[in-house]
Amino acid sequence: MTSLAGRPTRIVVDLDAITHNLHAIRARVGVPTMAIVKANAYGHGLLPVARHLQAQGVERLGVAFVEEGIALREAGIRVPILVLGGIFGPQLGQFLAHDLEITVSSLDKLRQVEAAAEAAGRKAAVHLKIDTGMARIGVHGASAGPFIEAAVAARACAVVGVYSHLACADDPAHPMTALQLARFATACAHFERIGAPMPLRHLANSGGVLHFPDTWLDLVRPGLLLYGVLPDPAARATVDVRPALSLVSRVVYFKVVRAGDTVSYGATWTAGRDTRVVTVPVGYGDGWPRALSSPTASAPGARRGGEVLLRGRRHPLVGRVCMDQFMVDIGADSAWNEDEVVLVGRQGDDAIGVAEVAERAGTIPYEILVGLNLRIPREYVGG
């Protein structure tokens, strides 16, 4: 917990909400869960969230980079951890030393992993990545046979899993998911053809969990959904999840802006009347998007200017968002220095969700959450 004398801006993470979301996902899918905690647990805090998930009995964790996996191991996290990103050969010793599961995405990568494991006198735990339509990393499904055969035969590798990633599952009506599922099934059938045991098959991300039961297979990999946010405006809320993150700050300045006067850089917003404006100590230096500037000052791609909650009412941002501060037009309303301002979360009878912030900034909820950087202190409640 931050002290009352600390920075007035803070992120509050509700660990009980994460628990609720994990249980709701488990109840829907009925298979084990790999909780995705990459990118600082989507802005919620890598170590506190991972510790909490481990205490809740989560079966596995997923990260993007080996450095994230090492941080988890050094913090005492003992559950299996898969590094989802493409491997960089010189780092393979770090994977092995910290007992991290490795994504193998080509025959060449397989040979690198096998050589590193043999040199270390260890057996590498690997998940084979099949490209079924993302064209990011992975062996094409149609040519997966020789890759799977080589992986099964590799003496210094244990094939723990085989997986792919869904490109369009956030949209329940998109036909791409059925095509990817078929391609994945064709690739996995090669294990049976060569008489090898089937490893853990995993395909479903948050969109798959929400919309496509056929993709649940042996393991699901929820990310954004675990934190209580739907991945797309088209997504159906088939799982009852609760937002886990709030972002709050305080008023640090109050002034009257006269009609005709301008606010912030570029003088892009002009008061049409005498009005009251407050300053909030948050800016793009914290990851709060500049695209939330008032419409006449928005960066390209912004749809609507941002809003905040102050004394239970919505008020618009005016002028450009600065690196460390932004201004809010409260009209004829009253406010005092140190009044709470809610950027994300609930105040009174209203709430501003991450999805709304993303829509106003012309981006996606993922980018809003992971953009909230470590300059903002985090508090944890519940758990």
Domain ranges of the chain: 31-226, 245-381
pTM of the model: 0.95
Q: How many CA atoms lie within 13 A of 88 on its CB side?
A: 7
Same fold, 31-226 and 245-381: no
> Worst-scoring range by mean pLDDT, 121-135, 266-280, 297-311?
297-311
Known catalytic residue: 38? yes
> Worst-scoring range by mean pLDDT, 113-117, 138-142, 202-206, 345-349?
138-142
Q: Whole-number mean pLDDT of the chain? A: 96
Q: Is the dihedral of CA 79, 217, 212, 179 positive or negative?
A: positive
Gap between the Cα atoms of 188 and 162, Å rounded:
8
Q: Residues 3-30: pLDDT tens digits?
A: 456 899 999 999 999 999 999 999 999 9
Q: Residues 254-295: pLDDT tens digits?
A: 999 999 999 999 999 999 999 999 999 999 999 999 999 998
Q: Residues 163-176: pLDDT tens digits?
A: 999 999 999 999 99
What the block records as the tokens of 258 is 């006269």
CATH of domain 31-226: 3.20.20.10
Gap between the Cα atoms of 12 and 247, Å rounded:
6
* Active-site hit among 163, 255, 265, 284: 265
245-381 folds as Lyase, Ornithine Decarboxylase; Chain A, domain 1 (2.40.37)
Decide if pLDDT at 182 tops 50: yes
Gap between the Cα atoms of 295 and 77, Å rounded:
45
pLDDT of residue 4: 52
Gap between the Cα atoms of 378 and 245, Å rounded:
10
Gap between the Cα atoms of 368 and 348, Å rounded:
23
Decide if pLDDT at 297 tops 60: no
Q: Residues 30-85: pLDDT tens digits?
A: 999 999 999 999 999 999 999 999 999 999 999 999 999 999 999 999 999 999 99
Q: Is 382 left (phi over 0), alpha (psi -120 to 50) or beta?
A: left
pLDDT of residue 301: 47
DSSP structure class, residue 323: S
Question: Which pLDDT band, with edges at 50, 70 and 90, does 1 fall under?
Answer: very low
Percent with pLDDT over 90 in the chain:
95
Question: Which pLDDT band, with edges at 50, 70 and 90, does 313 fall under?
Answer: very high
Known catalytic residue: 42? no
Gap between the Cα atoms of 19 and 141, Å rounded:
36
* Active-site hit among 38, 42, 227, 380: 38
Q: How does 267-306 read in b/e, with b if 16+ C-beta sit within 10 Å? A: ebbebeeebbbbbbbbbbebbbbbbbbbeebbeeebebbb
pLDDT of residue 5: 66
Question: Which pLDDT band, with edges at 50, 70 and 90, does 2 fall under?
Answer: very low
